[in-house]
Amino acid sequence: MAVRSAAAAVAASNDGQHGTQHGTQHGAEEGEIVTTQPDTTALPAFGTVPAPVMVVAQTTDGVWGPARAQPVDELRIHPFAHALHYGTAGFEGLKAHRGVDGVVRLFRHDRNIERLRRTAQLLHLPLPPAELVDAAIREVVAANLDVTPPAPGALYVRPLLLGTEPNIGAAAAPSSDALLAVLASPVGDYFSGGGRALTLLIETDRPRTTPQFGEAKAGANYAQALTPTLEARARYGADQVLFAPDGEVQETGAANFLLLDDDRVVTRALDSTFLHGVTRDAVLTLARDLGYRVEERTVTVDELRTWDGEAALSGTAAVLAGVGRLVFGDDTVTLGDGGVGPTTTRLRDALQAIQRGEAADVHGWTEPVNG
């Protein structure tokens, strides 16, 4: 599959060509990944355009070597590599935002580094030092400043961690070696339709992940969520699945879930069953700043059925996306008027104002990156 360059993508985004969120564009070659969009408010399909530079580090005999910048290209991985057979693959997702002043700033990447290390522990991979990951993230952003679009676009940064020991007899043993590749991609909006409120199917039978991987950002979790998500789309026209095993709400396949109203924000308390979102934490902090009561506690499916307020998904990609409908098998509950609620909009705006350098960063969440 051909991949058009990020520079071409960002340039094309200013050419007045039309694009859609997913799939092949008009005029694109067969199988080519799409990069054309009308302007920078509607950048290419999320994650389809590699930025030109990646940063790679690997271990030798379990000891981490230096991070090196190189043109984005195929990785050399032995076909016996542990990750390819036994699933020792994890990753992260964060963004660098171009502010109204033109400065590009990372948002809370220290949290993503911590979480990547947690994933490495859960996958029993050699632990990448925080300083190494930090240097690699900064370097990848600095090297790709040219293709970092203005808001609402951003440079999405994707650290990838793979078990590389070439051993197909290690089904019950950890990988002694690992590779870290920090990739980047200029992105627009994750959900098609931008501000459109989403429909979630409530799934109480099948879990999103095995119990021991709830907190890990392991590739296996996304594979596990795929069947329920595809079925929810095909059968119910749902955008996402809200996993609520045993009637307790956890999260969707790629974002945390929040209930909101005029006075409060309610979400599941941190535990080992779900991914501890950086955006979730930021939204709760901003909610407290703005005088909302924050309740971190169990949310049951029964409570969802009678919730008289708003709901939203939080995540690096989703930002804070409004939820308009909850589907419980044959019953659908419409929240409010089915659109994005006012508290959701207020919190989303507050978060984006900080990310874009429009509001004071009182919590010290952003860090400028220079070329």
251 belongs to the binding site for ligand PLP (CB under 6 A)? yes
Least Å from the CB of residue 297 to ligand PLP:
18
Least Å from the CB of residue 117 to ligand PLP:
14
HSE, side-chain direction, 13 A CA sphere, residue 105: 21
254 belongs to the binding site for ligand PLP (CB under 6 A)? yes
Q: Omega of the bond prior to 50 within 30 degrees of 0, cis? A: no
Q: Check: CB of residue 83 under 8 Å from CB of residue 162.
A: yes
Q: Which is nearer to ligand PLP, 190 or 292 (CB)?
A: 190
Count CB atoms within 10 A of the CB of residue 71: 9
Residues 6+ apart with CB under 8 A from 212: 122, 272
- What is the spatial distance between Cα 191 and Cα 346, in angstroms, rounded to a whole number? 19
Residues 127-146 that bind ligand PLP (CB under 6 A): none
Q: Which is nearer to ligand PLP, 64 or 243 (CB)?
A: 243
Q: Contacting ligand PLP (CB under 6 A), which of 25, 164, 176, 316?
A: 316
In this chain, which stretch among 20-28, 46-54, 144-152, 312-320 interacts with ligand PLP, using CB under 6 A?
Answer: 312-320
185 belongs to the binding site for ligand PLP (CB under 6 A)? no
* Residue 167 identity (one-letter amino acid): N
Residues 229-248 that bind ligand PLP (CB under 6 A): none
Give the bridge partners for 81, in sequence order: 166
Residues 69-128 that bind ligand PLP (CB under 6 A): 93
In this chain, which stretch among 133-141, 144-152, 252-260, 287-295 interacts with ligand PLP, using CB under 6 A?
Answer: 252-260
Least Å from the CB of residue 254 to ligand PLP:
4
Short-list 144, 136, 139, 134, CA closest to 51: 144
- What is the spatial distance between Cα 89 and Cα 257, in angstroms, rounded to a whole number? 25
**Which helix (H) or strand (E) segment is 235 a member of?**
helix 219-236
Instruction: List Cα–Cα distances, 181 to 114, 116, 165, 188, 210, in angstroms.
Output: 16, 12, 16, 22, 26
Q: Contacting ligand PLP (CB under 6 A), which of 314, 344, 355, 366?
A: 314
Residues 255-294 that bind ligand PLP (CB under 6 A): 255-256, 275, 277-280
Q: Which residues bind ligand PLP (CB under 6 A)?
A: 93, 251, 254-256, 275, 277-280, 314-316
